[in-house]
Structure formats: C-alpha cells, structure tokens
Amino acid sequence: MSVRQLYQLKVRTAAELSAAIERSIAGGRLAVGARLPTVRELAVELGLSPATVAAAYRALAQRGLVRGEGRRGTFVAARPALPIASDRPPPAGVVDLSRGNPDRALLPSLRGHLRALTDDTKTYGEVATLPALDAAARVAFRADGVPAERVIAVSGALDGVERVLLAWLRPGDRVAVEDPGFPRVFDLVAALGLVAVPVAIDDHGPTPESFAAALASGVAACVITPRAQNPTGAALDAARVRALRAVLRAYPDVLVVEDDHAGPVAGVPAHTLVQARRARWAVVRSVAKSLGPDLRVALLAGDPLTLERVKGRQRLGPGWVSHLLQQLVVDLWADPAVTASLVRATDLYRERRDALVDALSARGIPVVARSGLNVWVPVPDEAAAVRELLAAGYAVASGARFRIATAPAVRVTVAALPERKAAGVARALDAACLSNPLLTASA
C-alpha cells in the first residue's frame, strides 16, 4: 500500500484504520519516512470524522509506528515497533561481523552436560526457579555489588527487561534509553506504547549531564547497560557510578533497569547503579553470550515488589523457564572446565577487540571499545561504509537501527574476527571514512 492507496481504504473505525496502516508498515508497503495524509485530508477522503482519524494516528504513535512532527505532519517511524528485519545470510565467502553473536567456537560444549541431565520432569505447581540456580546467581550478583536477596529465572535478557517495564509502566510513560543503544530495546519501548528519551553515552556509559536532563524531563524508568554496551562497548566504572547515583538520588521513584547481557565474558568487572535502599530496581544477567544464546536463560534480581509483580505475571503466561534449561545452567556453572573456558573466551574477545581498535587507530580513526563483542565506528555515510566492507569481504551492521540522535556509524562484531584480519577491516573502514572531516580533524 502506498500513501495514495490510503485514500482507497474501506474502514469505519479508528481501530480498523490504525490496523490497516500497521499492516502496511509491517509488510513494507508503507516505507520508512513516508508522510501520511493530514488528519483532515484523510477524514474527507474516507468519509470519517477527524476525531476518528486522529484517534487512529494516536494509537499508531503509541505503538511507535509513526511519529508526529508538528506542522510538518505525521511520518512512518524509522524504528517501527514491528521491525522489518532480514534474516538472509551474507553472500558466500563474506565474513559475517554484523549479528552481535558470540563466537560459537568459544561456547562450552553442552554434550556431556546434556547426557548428565536427569529425567526428573517437573510439573505444574512446583517452584519456578530452581533453588540451586537461585543460590548460585545470588552469590554471583552479590560479588558484583548487586543486593540480590532473591532471583527469578526469565527467558533471556530482553524478556526480563520487558517484564520489569510492564510491572511498573503504562503506555505514554517516558523511558530513558542509551543513544546509541540496542535496537530491540528501542523496539520494545515503542511496542509497549512508551516514549524513548535518548541519553548520550561515552566510553564509561551514560554521561551525567545527559542522564540528569533525561530524568528531569519526567522519565518513569531508565534502561542501562553496565558493561559490554551494545553497540559501543562502553562500561561503567566506579567514578561514573558515583556520578550517576548522585543524579538518581533526586529521583527516588524512577525505576532503574540494568541489562548485563554479556555477564562474565564482558571483559571488565561489573559496576552497578542499584542500591538496596532504592524502591524500584532490577538487574538482569543473561547466559547468552557466555554459555550460548539458545539456552534462553537469564537471571533477574530486583527489589521485592518488582520481583513479585514479575513472578505473578510470569505465572499467568509461560509459568516458568524450563527446569531442564535451568539445571543445565547450574551444571555448567559448577564445571571447572567451563569456568576456565569462559576465562579463555574473555581474553580472546579482548584481544580481538583491541586488535581492531589498534588497527583503526593506526589509520587515524579514533575509536574506543572498553568491553564486549562490538566496536562502534563513526562513518560519514553508513550505506556507503556497509557496501565498502561488503566489497572487501566483510558484512557489518549499519548504525541507523542503533541510534536516535547520534551521528552515523557502523557496528562491527569482533567476537569471531581473527586478529590477523583486523587490518583488512580497518583498511576498508578507512576507505569509507576518508571524506569525514570530523575524523580527519581529530586524527
């Protein structure tokens, strides 16, 4: 459906109109950035009241599918709540550095641990989180300064973030998010009818000035990545934690959510903003990057009321995370060989990250990636940079999906990038950056 075809819709209600437009956006028939007719124009063409069309546009805006720009009009959002993503692999022979995955070769083998699982099948009404997993997770959280008195198993980091936001927020509430940040957090916020408020970050996480401005704007929650920030690799340190906690003291009711998705393979120690006396907080720690994405297990710590709300809502949905998966995580954590493999993986990720950063620095492209699996590289033209890298045999991610107000860039996942190939990636990025005056001036 084109914008012209909107005038041919046979709809009678605001719900029917918003559903028709949503289907067109999700199906790619209404392009990102397309300007929708004005409320009055569409009302006249469809024989509807302006109030009906306005209600449809409001519903779409709450879903994050369209954005209003005052007198300029209403446009299809660049980051719809139902994103159109391609799962097509890159061409044969191209090294895929675009997906943010850990290196398969560095994930621990599950074969022996799977054979050791018992057939003690759990049934309805049993404890949702295995006591052994709860105990092990609490020890790990407390060692990192997170005041975990209790832990809930959830189906991945994003599942945990969503459940916590749903526990406290309602459509229209404002949420502070990192910019650049993780696209699925942006999409989640939009899908829940929430309003994203961008917070600028540097190598040590959210900047205190931008964080303070976001909180002063009336946000109900903030979602922070304490380390291995995706896409930049930023990580909190003790000084930044003190500064951000000082800002938070003036906003005791703001919900603080930390997404520690990389956990033990992040490459730097954990630092946390949460404190036991804070009313509303949650820290979710996934095993996806360390033990494997397919396990779909993350551990959620939080204040008692938040955990009760999450547990209650979880009971009405899936009920619990598979006890077989939970037991597998417990067994993997208890295996000294797995512990040693995680140390090795952490070291290799650091070496590969540093290799690309050093290769870029040698070419006058100053980037920093303190932790994690990715490097964020500013470029003058994202599409041109992606093409340049593809021609050189490397697939990287365009930065458009990762940013709200920040400048163009590409994300390079270095998890499986051999150090010997870092120079080739840097060479291709250099070719794409030559026309960037900011980079040239800072070199």
pLDDT one-digit tens code per residue, 49-60: 999 999 999 888
- The predicted structure's pLDDT at residue 436: 45
Q: What is the DSSP letter of 104?
A: G
pLDDT of residue 168: 97
* CA 204/CA 268 separation, integer angstroms: 11
pLDDT over 90 (residue 107): yes
Tokens of 133: 């997993």
Q: State whether residue 438 is helix, strand or coil.
A: helix
Q: What is the pLDDT of residue 125?
A: 80
Q: Which domains are seen in the chain, by residue range? A: 4-76 (1.10.10.10), 95-105+338-442 (3.90.1150.10), 119-334 (3.40.640.10)
pLDDT at 437: 45
Confidence band of 433 (pLDDT split at 50, 70, 90):
confident
CB half-sphere exposure, 243, CA atoms < 13 A: 14
Place of tokens 């993350």: 298
Average pLDDT over residues 270-291: 97
pLDDT tens digits, one per residue of 54-77: 999 988 887 778 888 788 889 888
**Amino acid 64: pLDDT:** 76
Share of the chain above pLDDT 90, in %: 73
What confidence category does residue 126 fall into, taking pLDDT thresholds of 50, 70 and 90?
A: confident
SS3 251: coil
Average pLDDT over residues 266-275: 97
Integer Cα distance of 331 and 338 in angstroms: 10
Task: Label residue 119 by pLDDT band (50, 70, 90).
Answer: confident
pLDDT (0 to 100) of residue 223: 98
β-bridge partners, 174:
195
| Mean pLDDT in residue range 325-351 | 97
Using CA atoms, how far apart are residues 119 and 141, in angstroms rounded to an integer? 30
What is the edge-to-edge ordering of all strands in the sheet holding 35-36? 35-36, 74-76, 66-68
The tokens describing 152, both together, are 């809930």
Give this prediction's pTM: 0.85
pLDDT for residue 435: 46
- CB hemisphere CA count around 234 (13 angstroms): 25
